[in-house]
Amino acid sequence: MKKVAKYWFIFQTTLVNSLAYPGELIGRSLMIIPFMWIFFQLWKVTFDASGSDVINGLTLRDTLWYLMMAETIELGRPQLARTISENIKDGSIAYLLNKPYDFMLYQLSNAMGETIFRAFFNAIFGGVTVWFLVGAPAHPEGFIIALPAILGAWVLHFCVNAMIGLLAFGLEDVSAFTWIYQKLAFIFGGLLVPLDFYPQWLQVISKAMPFASTVYGPSRLFVSPTLELFVNVMLLQIIWIVILGFCLTLMYRRGLTQLTVNGG
């Protein structure tokens, strides 16, 4: 029990720590307001031009609420790869590794603690903006149903980001890889355009990749909370978490033997 309780406490401590500068936290979250306004203008023109209220199963209102959720997941997630890379560059990894916990579970608890308030404020500001622009979501209960998928998305984000971060054990600076990952998530995850609007062949490719489980899956579930979709999204997420979690464990074990610590 105590072995599990420590990770819960690490999560709580990070949660409290993330409130150290509330002004910065809230200020940063306000960025979602112009994002949503721009999305509204873009998609309004698109829907008007199409002459239809529904494109591939999504209305303008669905699209905006989908994008609000996608942005909340993306903007809320912690910059874990950068954190691990900085821990290695400044040598603080020495402290993080010599405590009796699993380093990866420590990082996961930490990452989740950092995410909650950031995501909360993004959801509040984004939600109010979208509500004002297109009205209430068609299925408010979608939020509750999508919640496990949102948490799963962050766990998946964690796995990929931790792997990129672990590259720092050998490379030290990993900013190029985080940049590539972010852009791939933009395109194949459906962060700017819901995957439903892609041509069929690209939809098949995108949905088969893990990026779709990090953004598209939970956001789509939020606007169309059906049991079938819930099962699909969760199953796919679990498969990816198992595969990437396994790769992460292997990489971590290998990385430990290669670690060099800066500053003597």
Partner 1 sequence: MPSIEVNQLQKTFQSKRKAAGLAGSMRALFRPEYNSIEAVRRLSFQMEAGELLGFIGPNGAGKSTTIKMLTGILHPTAGDAKVLGFVPWKDRQKLAYHIGTVFGQRPQLWYHLPAVDTFLLFGKIFEMDDRETKKRIAFLSEAFEIQDLLETPVRKLSLGQRMRCEVAASLLHRPKLILLDEPSIGLDVVAKQHIRDAIKTMAQEENVGVLLTSHDAGDLEALCRRVIIINHGQIVYEDKVSNLKRKFLTRKLVEVRYAEEVPVDFSLEGVEILKVGHYGVKLRFDTTKTPVDAVMSHLSEAGELVDITVADPPLEEVIAKIYEQARRAETQA
List residues near partner 1 by CB under 8 A: 2-3, 5-6, 9-10, 13, 16-17, 20-21, 90-95, 97-102, 256-257, 259-261, 263-264
CB of 159 to partner 1, least distance (A): 21
Q: Running DSSP on this structure, what letter comes out for residue 18?
A: T
**Tokens 């953004």 sit on residue:** 215
Q: Which is nearer to partner 1, 42 or 105 (CB)?
A: 105
**Alpha-carbon dihedral angle through residues 12, 17, 20, 24, given to the nearest 10 degrees:** -100
CB of 118 to partner 1, least distance (A): 15
Task: Give yes or no for a contact between 168 and 88, defined as CB atoms under 8 angstroms apart.
Answer: yes
Q: Which is nearer to partner 1, 6 or 44 (CB)?
A: 6
Token duo for residue 181: 């990952």
Q: Which is nearer to partner 1, 133 or 251 (CB)?
A: 251
CB of 99 to partner 1, least distance (A): 5
Task: Give yes or no for a contact between 198 and 248, defined as CB atoms under 8 angstroms apart.
Answer: no
Q: Which is nearer to partner 1, 51 or 264 (CB)?
A: 264
CA angle 137, 57, 135 (to 5 degrees): 20
Q: Which is nearer to partner 1, 20 or 49 (CB)?
A: 20
Task: Give yes or no for a contact between 97 and 178, defined as CB atoms under 8 angstroms apart.
Answer: no
54 forms bridges with which residues in the sheet? 59
CB of 86 to partner 1, least distance (A): 12
Nearest to 140 by CA among 65, 214, 195: 65
CB of 256 to partner 1, least distance (A): 7
Question: How far apart (Å, rounded) are the C-alpha atoms in residues 60 and 191?
Answer: 16
CB of 75 to partner 1, least distance (A): 21
Which parts of the chain are beta strand (E)?
54-55, 58-59
CB of 85 to partner 1, least distance (A): 16
What amino acid occupies position 121?
Answer: F
What amino acid occupies position 193?
Answer: V
Q: Which is nearer to partner 1, 101 or 186 (CB)?
A: 101
Q: Which is nearer to partner 1, 79 or 92 (CB)?
A: 92
Question: How far apart (Å, rounded) are the C-alpha atoms in residues 184 and 101?
Answer: 32
**Tokens 């690209």 sit on residue:** 202
Nearest to 74 by CA among 168, 164, 162, 192: 192
